[in-house]
Structure 1
Amino acid sequence: MDSSEWDARYASTPGLVWSAEPNRFVVEAVGGLTPGSALDLAAGEGRNAVWLAGNGWRVTAVDFSPVAVERGRELAARRGVPVEWRVADVTTYRPAPGSYDLVLISYLHLPAEDLATVLDSARRALRPGGALVVVGHDLANLTGGTGGPQDPNILLTPEAVVDGLAGLRIRRAETARRPVPTTGGGSVDALDTVVVATRPAT
């Protein structure tokens, strides 16, 4: 979907489209890191950006939907944390190289060529020793999971993400299970790609 379609989706929902709580894999990946400067690409309504800010990170959050960014500002204000918000398309946004200790890409689903462009910008944006965290719906989710986009051309695999991270050290690259609550009180698993990589310190 383009930015206007996302604007319409966000605007048609009275509350947050997504949870206000951070993604579980983001929490796992970032929990042991020393807070510094962080860039959240395709931040949506800001749940991960606001969580990072609440844990001492200096966060820049980027999304192409003005409605989502405004929701993020409101969430940050309610939580009393500072986040720098920018309305921009991450496929053309170019962060300054070597500027961030953490870059996050969470549930960004694009055709392969566009995803490769974003991954290249993300890895270049890392400082030496910095970490890149990528989380998204896995291709295997189509047949083995629940929810998420149904277009195989925009779903992730650990291998495809790793292929776009030349020069980084891969710390984690797997298809992980994420429990999704059901109306009956139980849960079913969604399958997510989770990749964590770091830029060598020297």
Structure 2
Amino acid sequence: MVLLRLLVFLFAPVVSDLCSLPCFINVSESQGPGTVLQFLSFNCSSYTPTPTLELLNVQPPTTFFNPPSLARRQGTYVGKLTLSSSAQLDALMVNHYKVQLKFTCGNHVMEGSLSVDVQRDLSHIQCAGQFASPAGEMIQVPETVTPGARLYTLLLPGLELHGAQVSPEHGTVGDRMGVGGWRE
């Protein structure tokens, strides 16, 4: 029994998870390219070959994460995971990523995953282009429409139940409404 405990103690670092820090992190969807998501600290006493930290996989697949960097600082190795130049986080599209990392130190290999939860940032609303057509949406308003009648409901992402409404207050026959309001 003592021998079994000794073997478990000796081999535990080889099969342990990569995450010794929080394996779950939250990031705001307003964070952009170059943002540091997580620092990871590793001990490695093997000097040959140099330790490595790799990005194995991201689920769902994306290019939003840079390959991690690894630097030696005061006897330990510090890995850094950052957002890539293509990162455009959108919590409504994808609110959770699973990043699979692998640290190799000599013959010791540790793998683990980092769960990245993307949080909504209501102060950072991103618009996706004007409308379906480059000219915007045009609607015909008959002269019989009374003031206060609903003409068009604009649905904003995440605010589907609170659509912006456009109603006529004044105008002339044949007026057409564009994105910015009434036009003659």
Greater fraction of residues in helix: 1
TM-score (norm 2): 0.22
Greater fraction of residues in strand: 2
Based on CA coordinates, which of the two structures has the bigger radius of gyration? 2
